[in-house]
Amino acid sequence: MCGIVGYVGGRPCRDLLVAGLEKLEYRGYDSAGISLLTDGHVETVRAVGNLSNLRAAIGLDADTPVSAEGGVAVATPPATIGLGHTRWATHGRVTEENAHPHGDCTGHIHIVLNGIVENHTELRRELSESGHAFSSETDAEIVAHMIEKHYDGDLTEAVRNAFAELRGHYAFVAMHADHPDVLVAARQECPLIVGVGEGETFVASAIPAFLAETRDVLGLKNGEIVTVTPEGARIVEVDGTPVEREIEEVTWDEEAAEKGGYSTFMLKEIHEQPDAVAETITDRIPDADSVDLSELEISQEFLNDLRRIVIVACGTSYHAGLVGRYAIEQWARVPVEMDIASEYRYRDPVVGTNDLVVGITQSGETADTLAAMRLARERGAKVMALTNVMGSQATRDADTVLYTRAGLEMGVAATKTFTAQTAAMYLLGIWLAQSRDAWPPEKIAEVIAELKGIPSKIGTTLASVEERVRAIARSHAEARFFLYLGRNIGLPVCLEGALKMKEISYIPTDAYAAGEMKHGPIALLDESTPVVCVATDSPILEKVLSNIAEVRARGADVIAIATEGNTQVAEVADQTLYVPKTDWVLQPILAVLPLQLLAYHVARLNNLNVDQPRNLAKTVTVE
Ligand code: AGP
């Protein structure tokens, strides 16, 4: 989730753009850049690393206060139109060439983009065949060349025509050297907002970028293109139809703005899950019946000789791995061994060639997981890292890397990285199944269609259950213990729900395979025990229903997660929360959402700091 900002107006804007980028730092980044247009000439400065490197590159050292005077270095007259960008790399390594802004062949058109252009490979091929030369590995640069392809003197028209050919999940802003008072921007899924000032206009991926300058905003919807000038903004649909929209005033303070109007980063990140999953899967599903993980560069020969998969991870990442195990064994029929990394590294594991070891770590810096990956690699296994951070240690300790694209996660309690990891494990399961002909192509096409529908079903679930979860949280905020029960692919969801409740509400919890209840844990139950049961549709739902009946018989209060349209569960549970129907193997990515919200609201009702729980760090780099 990159940060983008554009300015056109009467004031010198170099420092306004840098200030805007500083307000977008919370979105996370690995490089940054700005482009400024002066006297028909665009000057671009980019730098890898944090903003102080960019400040140094443009002659603004760390403690030089942001001033209204200077241009890039000492451009005269100072630029009053420009673009800025903080990059969270998804396509192309963390290098200066891959940092934004990107230009076209003429150097006249510059763009900054947040998101992913899904059909970038085919467009790059077409553009190269018609003579375009590219200077980066990114999908984003395509947009500058697409605008160049359509440009005939009218920047809005060129952007509109280019936009019509793009597919994906993105928002971008474009500038042209011949138009010193116009920026044109477009939105497809990723956030984009216009800040309307006196004789000046901003466009950015989030309000904090310009909140210090104006509180008057104009929201953009999917498929809309906006032309901004110092006088204001004009919105059209992709077919050119004009759109009228009211300017609204933002009342948030800066801190709330960083949280996108949510009261905490954790709640903001819970609601970012549709985007996190969409960005993780979009361009890896090039068509309706196949998954493309060629980025892994794993040979067909290795896949044919693959003996087994070993997944090592810690905490929430371990739970995503557990979901992945069920999916891979179900679809690809490859045996999957799971282990907690801090155990795996010390148990002298039997591992070697023809084994694929997957280290799952969102931060890419968790010491135990890194050590487990290194051990496996030393013993001849092929090691894959599944991580959210480009350039992290895990990417160096692995033979190949699969990236989730959830963007920076500020909340210590992982939420969007869990669903993004789970989505990535589904991609891996489907890809292995198709690569080894382990599953009928029509079945693969069916589950791919379901997976593509998950981002919007996450949005629907969050919207439909939050109020009910808040009420359930109120009735159990003082509980002294929560028990989570599930079976088969529902069990990892229980483990994750129990971990969330522990780490942010400090209430003891246990998660158990429901079939194990009668072998001891059932003794824990009484009327005061809330029992959360994951009872989404699956081949063993009947078993789960009878376990719920066992628990109810001891007077416990059962909160069940069920699949929409299945009324059986509500007959045996006290409260039932419904998630949309999808393939039963994909249900966990939806069933976890009410559990994230339950832990969140119980913690909030106990006035706890959910973003920074006690005793916990976001990244555990200690042994
Ligand atoms: C989850 O909410 C916790 N923050 C923690 O369990 C975390 O999942 C674990 O430390 C693993 O982190 P990683 O994914 O960065 O390796």
Q: What are the average pLDDT values for consecutive 10-residue runs of the chain, which has 623 residues?
A: 93 95 78 94 92 88 50 64 90 88 97 91 94 94 97 97 94 97 94 95 93 93 96 96 93 75 92 93 89 95 97 98 98 97 97 97 94 97 94 93 91 96 98 96 96 96 97 96 97 98 96 94 90 97 95 93 96 96 97 98 94 79 65
Pick the atom of ligand 1 nearest to 421's CA.
Answer: 14
**Minimum CA distance residue for ligand 1 atom 12:** 361
- 501 C-alpha to ligand 1 centroid (Å): 14
Residue with tokens 């018609």: 130
For residue 385, report the distance from its CA to the centre of ligand 1, in Å.
Answer: 15
Nearest-atom number in ligand 1 for the CA of 313 is 16
Q: Which pLDDT score, from 0 to 100, does residue 321 have?
A: 98
Beta bridge partners of 86: 3, 32
Q: Which of 319, 362, 621 for mutating ligand 1's site (highest number of atoms within 8 Å of CB)?
A: 362
Q: How many Å lie between the centroid of ligand 1 and the Cα of residue 565?
A: 34
User: Residue 250: what pLDDT?
Assistant: 87
**What is residue 194's three-state secondary structure?**
strand
pLDDT of amino acid 237: 96
Return the pLDDT at 71. Answer: 44
Question: What does the alpha-carbon distance between residue 468 and residue 466 come to, in Å, rounded to a whole number?
Answer: 6
Instruction: Compute, in angstroms, the gap from residue 330 CA to the centroid of ligand 1.
Output: 26
The pair of three-digit structure tokens given for residue 178, joined into one six-digit string: 């011949």
Residue 121: the pLDDT is 87
Which of 312, 314, 623 gets mutated to test ligand 1 (max ligand atoms within 8 A of its CB)?
A: 314
Please, which residues have CB within 8 angstroms of residue 89's CB and are 6 or more apart in sequence? Answer: 30, 31, 98, 390, 391
314 CA → ligand 1 middle, Å: 6
pLDDT attached to residue 91: 76
Choice from 311, 317, 610 to test ligand 1 binding pocket (greatest atom count within 8 A of CB): 317
Provide the pLDDT for residue 595.
Answer: 98
For residue 417, which atom of ligand 1 is closest to its CA?
A: 14
- In the reported structure, the alpha carbon of residue 374 is separated from the centroid of ligand 1 by a whole-number distance in angstroms of 19
- Ligand 1 shell residues, CB under 6 Å: 314-317, 361-363, 366, 369, 412-414, 503, 619-620
Which residue minimizes the CA distance to atom 6 of ligand 1?
A: 315
| Ligand 1 centroid, distance to 364 Cα (angstroms) | 10
Residue-level pLDDT at 622: 64
Closest CA to 268 of 257, 277, 280, 279: 257
pTM above 0.75, yes or no: yes
**Best mutation site among 322, 340, 358, 366 for ligand 1 pocket (most ligand atoms within 8 Å of CB):** 366
Alpha-carbon gap, residue 28 to 33, rounded angstroms: 14
Q: Whose CA is nearest to atom 4 of ligand 1?
A: 413
Residue 218 near residue 20, CB atoms below 8 Å: no
Query: Which atom of ligand 1 is the closest one to the Cα of 616?
Result: 4
- Residue 387 CA: nearest ligand 1 atom is 14
511: left (phi over 0), alpha (psi -120 to 50) or beta: beta
The set of catalytic residues is: 2, 618
Distance (Å) from CA 448 to ligand 1 centroid: 28
Other C-beta atoms lying within 10 Å of the C-beta of residue 205: 29
d(CA 186, CA 196): 17
Q: Strand runs (DSSP E) across 241-334, as ranges?
A: 242-243, 248-249, 308-313
Give the model's pLDDT for residue 66.
47
